[in-house]
Amino acid sequence: MCLGVPGKITEIYEQDGLQMARVDFGGVVRDTCMAYIPEAKVGDYCIVHVGFALNLVSEQEAKETMDLLQQIADIESELGPGAPA
Amino acid sequence: MKYVTEYRDAALVRGVVEEIRRTVTRPWVVMEICGGQTHSIVRYGLDQLLPPEIELVHGPGCPVCVTPLELIDKALAIASMPNVIFCSYGDMLRVPGSGRDLFSVKASGGQVRVVYSPLDAVEIARQNPDKQVVFFAIGFETTAPPNVMSVLKARSLGLTNYSILVSHVRVPPAMHAILGSPSNRVQGFLLAGHVCTVMGYHEYPSLAEKYKVPMAVTGFEPLDMAQGILQTVRMLEQGRIEVENAYARLVTFEGNQPAQNSIHEVFEDCDRTWRGIGVIPMSGWRLRPEFAAFDAEKRFDVGTIQTKESPLCIAGQILQGMKKPHDCPAFGKECTPEHPLGATMVSAEGACAAYYRYGR
């Protein structure tokens, strides 16, 4: 139930006074409540949980983490599994 | 899919696991709180990739599993009433109450509907003004912002036929209970990433310090999990007691402030019973008195409820990390996903269901 899915915001609109968005999850598009991230813009990625966007994905943090993990993995492939620490 | 595919890259995951192998020098017991992460670990075989020194134990973070039997029986009683449309997340329908489940209420003519979002339940209430619409508002901190928004929206629409049956629980009090138990084995924690998306992780440093247990905020994809485990193992090996963030693309220290504001506008702290575990003081949320009109427990009189739990089920010990699903004599025999004795065999976040499905 705490699984969230990242999707791309394709349209922002209002319904019954609530900010909503159309969010694209790799081809599946769903109406999503944006009340908790009012700063979201079209093109942003957000994590969606039971029809609610709970946060934006930080592209910069994602890139920094990925670079770091890539370095760790590269070191391992150079040393090979089981190399002494 | 962006932000999904790259976190399932097998070569990267193996690289990080290899770094864990090089880091670890002795046995450690690490608990993942969240049942979604339990499924991720077993589904992607991380438990089998990790060095034998790392034992992962599975925590109580399965909302369906810990919803107390008495509330499930109340849900069954309300859903059976004429003129009620009972709405729920799909996972709850097969959870055994004292003798039956919501599916059997539906099969015998009760109006039980599965909704994707609590706002769908509000829409059903708007379209059915002559019916009472009840939403089963269960979950941890992650489902709280959606659930409270349904109440705020129903109020702004002036709906008088919408109410919620609340069974909300919180992660930090459960960790207190686990770490404070004399039989605790947990030495490090993977914190539930999406709970922290909402709440941040400012509640955890004091907990880490009090029990001398390091923690890492961890996401759900296999690479996220491997990273969270690596950071936790590094802290354990270096003797550092800290709370690190291994899910920085979605989690900040403070969390989502508008979501926390809405939670505190609608909910207040209360004691909660956790199925299989017992009462944990101030471990949950209930509706504030000013929202009593939306409280299904106040709106419907279901009389006295006598609960009856299966004597075979050991879900409580599994949820506290004391036992593994295959330690249960009923696992895969009397208890299967088709005929579950306990909620841990039902839910997409239950440890027993994960072990059964992925052949552990």
Which CATH architecture is the domain B1-298+305-360 placed in? 3-Layer(aba) Sandwich (3.40)
On whether any CB of chain B is under 8 Å from the CB of A71, the answer is no
Enumerate the domain spans of chain B.
Answer: 1-298+305-360
In chain B, which residues have their Cβ closer than 8 Å to the Cβ of A82?
21
In chain A, which residues have their Cβ closer than 8 Å to the Cβ of B12?
69-70, 73
Could you give all domains of chain A from N- to C-terminal order, each with its CATH number? 5-79 (2.30.30.140)
Alpha carbon B199 to its chain's center: 15
- Per-residue pLDDT of B183-229, as tens digits, reads 899 999 999 999 999 999 999 999 999 999 999 999 999 999 999 99
On whether any CB of chain A is under 8 Å from the CB of B123, the answer is no
> Coil, helix or strand for B228?
helix
On whether any CB of chain A is under 8 Å from the CB of B5, the answer is no
Long-range contacts of B19-22 (CB under 8 A, 24+ apart): B19/A72, B19/A75, B19/A76, B19/B230, B20/B50, B20/B51, B20/B54, B20/B226, B20/B229, B20/B230, B20/B233, B21/A81, B21/A82, B21/B50, B21/B51, B22/A76, B22/A83, B22/A85
Distance from CA of B250 to the nearest CA of A (A): 5
- Per-residue pLDDT of B109-152, as tens digits, reads 999 999 999 999 999 999 999 999 999 999 999 999 999 999 99
Q: Which residues pair with B307 in a beta bridge?
A: none
Q: pTM above 0.90?
A: yes
Q: How many CB atoms lie within 10 A of CB B11?
A: 11
Whether B314 and B32 have beta carbons less than 8 Å apart is answered as no
On whether any CB of chain B is under 8 Å from the CB of A45, the answer is yes
pLDDT along chain B (360 residues), means of 10: 90 95 97 93 94 95 91 96 96 89 94 96 98 97 97 98 97 95 95 97 98 97 97 98 98 98 98 92 97 97 88 89 92 92 86 90
**Helix H or strand E segment including B329:** none
Q: What is the ipTM of this complex?
A: 0.91
**Helix H or strand E segment including B21:** helix B10-23
Distance from CA of B84 to the nearest CA of A (A): 23
- Per-residue pLDDT of B189-201, as tens digits, reads 999 999 999 999 9
Long-range contacts of A68-74 (CB under 8 A, 24+ apart): A69/B12, A69/B15, A69/B16, A69/B223, A69/B227, A70/B12, A72/B15, A72/B16, A72/B19, A72/B230, A73/B11, A73/B12, A73/B14, A73/B15, A73/B16, A73/B18, A74/B15
